[in-house]
Chains A and B, each alone.
Chain A
Amino acid sequence: MKKAVVLVVLIAAMAFAGTAMAATLNQKNTGCGLGSMLFAEQNGLASQTFAVTTNGTFGNGTFGITSGTSNCEKPASFSSNQKLQEFVADNMDNLARDIARGNGEYLNTLAVLAGVPEGSRSEFYSRLQANFSSIYTSEKVTHVEVLKNIEPLVTYL
């Protein structure tokens, strides 16, 4: 009897700890357009594990080792600026929101990566905001098009 109780208790404890520790598994990036978040298949309560697909620490030593952009089309705009491309592809939603609002960390990072000097940034932000609808032309817009639409706004600063 006592043994059975102990056993039940142990199993229950572990089962619970399991759901407590069960974590984000099988993350996948669903694309390169808007709404392409890095979704977790199982939304665990605590994150102690990660997807098998994102292992490897230093990979090839370049920036977006785990980004979902490896399958995406490579844009001609900012073609030598791989960090910028990957950043835009990986953060489409948050960047769109910051551009519409004219402030925020994602917008600031875009300016950093695009090499916009600090003195010109507020003008850059106003210009992007004013041109929001010509940057995000449709709900099917991809990061390639976004970059292509942003490029002329950087050039004339």
Chain B
Amino acid sequence: MMKKKGMPPCASGRIPFLFALLFILALSCGDASGQPAASADVLVRKARGLGLAQDPYWLTLLHYKPGIAGRRSLVDDPRFFLSPSGNRDPSAEMDATLHAFLQPAGDDEAAHPVCRFVARFAWLKERLALDETKLPVPECRRFNNILRDIRPSSVSLIFPAAHINSPASMFGHTLLTVDTAHGSRLLAWAINYTAVTTETFGPLFAVKGLFGLYPGYFSMMPYYTKLQEYNDIEQRDIWEYRLNFTRDEITRLLMHAYEMDHIRSDYYFFDENCSYVLFFLLDAGRPGLRLTDECRPWVIPLDTVRLVQQNGLVVDTAWRPSRASRVRSLASLLPQQERLAARSVALGESRAQRLTGPDVAQEHRTVTADLAAEYLQYRYAKKEVPSDAFNERFLQILGERSRMGGAGKGDYEIPAPPRPDQGHLSNRLSFGGGVRENDSFIEMGIRPAYHGLMDDDSGYVEGSQIIFTGIGLRYSFETERLMLQNVDLIDIVSISPRGDFFQPVSWKVRTGLARKPGEDGMDHLVYDLTAGAGLAWDIPLLGLFYVMGEVEGDLGGRSEERWALGSGGSAGVLRSIDGTWKIHAFARDVYYALGDRHNALELSFQAGFACRANGSLTAGVTWKRSYGVRDTEGTLSWNLFF
């Protein structure tokens, strides 16, 4: 390149022989191998003239984002860049890419840059009007074969909803599926971005995940394997949002997924996570789309579903019930006697013949047998049935079922619950006030995530709460001081009813700072850590009734020891009325036997009213007795979800 630039213009006819010879040599060399380099320079100049290195699409393909120390790519794998400074410098990467495209073809076509970076190639080919017939590698045959095999027809964003008994999974996951023209959704391809690890120790996993110490990779597998994972094993319902991507856009999306194959981007749980990095594929599919720029710094997968919707990408939605939801739905079609027969056969307490016996009415036989089979599959997925017992019992039930006939009728139509994206938004701002003994106060609070027990359940799991980093401030008119009232680092509750088919354990865990009455009768900020476990039942007319045993540790305050450890319990009733009202009444009593010995009793009644999609009113009355000091507090607050 440099040599070419320094070459004198050929104007004079009196060139010395040696120079002439050199010139001819240089030309002939150029013909043999230097020609592509010459074109590369032309291409580089042309690309610079068009400003392609700063084109938003180029920035998307290379995952460049502004950072604290200037622009850099979120991709951390050196193999993804052709220039040594490519992870920071879009122009250098552009120049290096154009040169690399003109490299002579080697033995392995798939290793050629045209084939390694198919999306970059396709875009630059179009923008620079490249004549591919003059290129050493005109196309990537390997990718074209894959594309032909996939026969893409549409693309969907997939959101596995929360486990019923683990609210934390509300944070969830998203993936994409590429539907094929084969005519079955099961045969779609699922594209995931996930952290790769063999770490099984939770806390270490979390710490490393927060600081991006795990490599993240894209993976692709048949959709049915993801359905097994989420629907059948983890018991999570799946929501599918089909996007209005055209065939060309899906091709571009797949091209980018292909060039991201085996490419590492460090995985960060809260921002550069599954849902965020997946958006690079959508942005690459549709030039002009900037989903990766519209995300908040704290990426909640469900919010990314909403973002896709706000961008007008969703054509239609579908719901895939988990195995547990199917069991629940089939059970609801049957009277008690048949339900118990199905359960007993599935558990191996009765023989499969009972399905056709006298205690199963003729018209309920097929549903009873189907329920028995699905419930057995559920128990097996929970590892509550050994595999040889499962195989034997499963075939016996299915044998009975096959003799009942009724083929070709179509699957059960299980009504879909409200969509999670239609539930209230993730962030909550509250304003309120109240009275407490002789004092009155106003307060405000903010909670970036996610759902409280008193918030409208629509789109969420009933009886669940998951709060991360909520903060509350209170201004007291008596003391004329503004004080930090609480910091809810984590406050999770799962009240999950027990029944014939499911016997979950309800539980809760909370940690944070809370203002609590001390020995001196004044309130002090203490750090608390609480855990509890118990049982819950759905009682007709009354609501969700629960009892829990709890342990609590407190640190800080103004008392003698400045710490207290105790145990106790709570019991309460939670009930939704008409889908807009919600009430929660509970009692909680904890005896602190270690540290600052004392007893804390609390009786509370809370009511919530969802006034519009993203607003609610909550009111509550709480009576407390701690260190023998009693006080009563009433509050009213208005909540806005955004």
Whether A121 pairs with B206 at a CB distance below 8 angstroms is no
Inter-subunit contact B194/A66 (CB<8 Å)? no
* Of A24, A121, A133, the contact of B399 (CB 8 Å cutoff): A133
Q: Judge whether A100 is part of the interface by a CB distance below 8 angstroms.
A: yes
Q: Which of A19-46 contact B (CB under 8 A)?
A: 19-27, 30, 33-35, 37-43, 45-46
CA distance A26 to B200 in the complex (A): 9
Task: Please report the total number of A residues contacting B with Cβ < 8 Å.
Answer: 86
Contacting residue for A125 out of B262, B380, B394, B407, CB 8 A = B407
Question: Which of the residues B195, B398, B490 comes within 8 Å of A97, measured between beta carbons?
Answer: B398
Report the Cα distance A26→B201, complex, angstroms: 13
How many angstroms from the CA of A144 to the CA of B169 in the assembled complex? 38
Among the stretches A5-13, A70-78, A147-155, the one at the interface with B is A5-13
Supposing A13-B489, A125-B408 touch, asked if A67 and B399 sit within 8 A by C-beta, the answer is: no
> Which B residue sits closest to A20, measured CB to CB?
B168
Within 8 Å CB of B402, what residues of A?
99-102, 129-130, 132-133
Q: How far is the CA of A37 from the CA of B232 in the complex (A)?
A: 9
* Cα–Cα distance between A37 and B380 once the two chains are bound (Å): 9
CB < 8 Å neighbour of B258 from A14, A47, A57? A57
A9 lies within 8 A of B163 (CB): no
Binary flags per residue of A89-100, CB closer than 8 Å to B gives 1, else 0? 011011011011
The contact of B407 among A50, A90, A129, by CB within 8 Å, is A129
Give the Cβ gap from A68 to chain B, nearest Cβ, in Å: 9
Which residues in B have their C-beta under 8 angstroms from that of A30? 387
Interface centre among A9, A20, A66, A112 (most CB of B within 10 A): A20
Nearest-neighbor residue (CB-CB) of B231 within chain A: A94
Complex CA gap A48/B234 in Å reads: 13
Measured in the bound complex, the distance between the Cα atoms of B207 and A67 in whole Å is 32
Assess whether B182 is interfacial by the CB under 8 Å rule: yes
Q: Would you call B198 an interface residue if the criterion is a C-beta within 8 Å of the partner chain's C-beta atoms?
A: yes
Indicate which residue in A18, A33, A136 contacts B205 across the interface (CB closer than 8 Å): A18
Are B195 and A49 neighbours in the complex by a CB distance under 8 Å?
yes
Residue A119 lies at the interface, judged by CB distance under 8 Å to chain B: no
Given contacts A18-B205, A48-B194, A57-B219, contact A129 B258 (CB under 8 A): no
Check if B142 is an interface residue, CB within 8 A of chain A. yes
Residue of A nearest to B526 (CB): A5
**Does residue A79 face the partner (Cβ distance < 8 Å to B)?**
no
Q: Quick check: B556 and A96 within 8 Å, CB to CB?
A: no
Please tell me if the beta carbons of B388 and A15 are within 8 angstroms of each other in the complex.
no
- Determine how close the nearest CB of chain A comes to the CB of B104; give it in whole angstroms: 25
Q: How far is A129 from B214 in the complex, measured between Cα atoms in Å?
A: 48
B514, chain A: closest CB distance, angstroms = 12
* Besides A25-B200, A56-B261, 11 other A-B contacts (C-beta < 8 A): A16-B492, A19-B206, A25-B198, A41-B200, A43-B234, A52-B198, A91-B228, A102-B405, A105-B186, A106-B186, A129-B405
Residues of A within 8 A of B (CB): 1, 5, 8-9, 11-27, 30, 33-35, 37-43, 45-50, 52, 54-59, 61-67, 83, 86-87, 90-91, 93-94, 96-97, 99-106, 108-109, 112-113, 121-122, 125-126, 128-130, 132-133, 136, 138-140
Q: Which 4 pairs of residues, A with B, have the shortest CB-CB distance?
A: A102-B407, A18-B206, A132-B402, A20-B168
